[in-house]
Amino acid sequence: MAHRVTLIPGDGIGPEIVEAARRVIDASGANIEWEVVEAGEKVMAEYGTPLPEYVLESIKKNKVALKGPMTTPIGTGFRSVNVALRKALDLYANVRPAKSLPGVVTRYENIDLITVRENTEDLYAGVEHMVGDDAAESIKIITRKASQRIVRFAFELARKEGRKKVTAVHKANIMKYTDGLFLAVAREVAAEYPDIEFEDMIVDAMAMKLVQTPEKFDVMVMPNLYGDILSDLCAGLVGGLGVAPGANIGDEYAVFEPVHGSAPKHAGQNRVNPLAEILSGVMMLKHLGEMDAAAKIERALTKVLPNKDMVTYDLGGTAKTSEMADYIIKHL
């Protein structure tokens, strides 16, 4: 049977890179039936929201979605469509791999890291208010339940992927109650996985060590804000956000999307790099059990990325978005 997947083109460059990813996935032999739904800026006028209910209904029905980047509207009720999706579907785990790619020139080689970021609380819970006219307060929320499930998710991912170590990242030396709770829970959960090495690291030291000795780390798990920052740092180690895929995963649903934004100034020019969207699609295929199709795409990328006439300008090449997809399909 075909896997039915919700496809959300998104805003800005989203439709171009999503179309490139869809074509590559279809050509890989994966058995996917797409249900295209629109969200974001283009539906605001009609529905009064960038996230109409039919989008959530489609994902709940299909369980899996591949989406393009979306522009966060200014002056409306949503902080972010992505944050709203994560809350509505309880997508508590944000997974962002950072892996060195052939042909993508960076300062580092042989990077292979996974950041697992808690997606539902911490300072991103959005509990903030003014205190009089001259002060503002934001409340950091860390719960035992959310900490347990994100750390357990990281260990299960490590075990599934054959990884050797999980590092819990925190600031428990200063925030002894909030980050202290996260660290205590991480240690409790780690004891259930004696086959996987565990360590903890203070977040500022972690930032330094990721730059100095990234090869010493494997899977990293952390609260929301630290995950947002350090996952971008890890993307920088392998070439930037343009090569950074991501997934938001819960117990029932999974939404796959690139880490980068919608880049509206580049929209409609057929010049942007679709790699992060394609790699997000590869993550989706693995999630669906389409391992052969995922492997075919990954092998094709090793042939295409080193050839500058087959990749887009930001990868040092001359190809257009659609042409890069054509080359990948040719090498499948």
- Residue numbers annotated as active site: 124, 171, 204, 228
Per-residue DSSP letter, 43:
G
Distance CA 248, CA 92 (A): 7
Closest CA to 256 of 279, 233, 239, 236: 279
Distance CA 156, CA 251 (A): 13
Distance CA 218, CA 316 (A): 29
One DSSP character per residue, 297-327 reads HHHHHHHHTT-GGGS-GGGT----HHHHHHH
Distance CA 162, CA 297 (A): 21
Are 163 and 219 in contact, with CB atoms under 8 Å apart?
yes
The label of the residue with tokens 């990948």 reads: 328
Q: What is the largest CA-CA distance in the chain?
A: 62
CA dihedral 56, 58, 59, 65 (to 10 degrees): -120
Bridging pattern class, strands 64-67 and 254-258: parallel
- For the record, the structure tokens of 192 come out as 């259930």
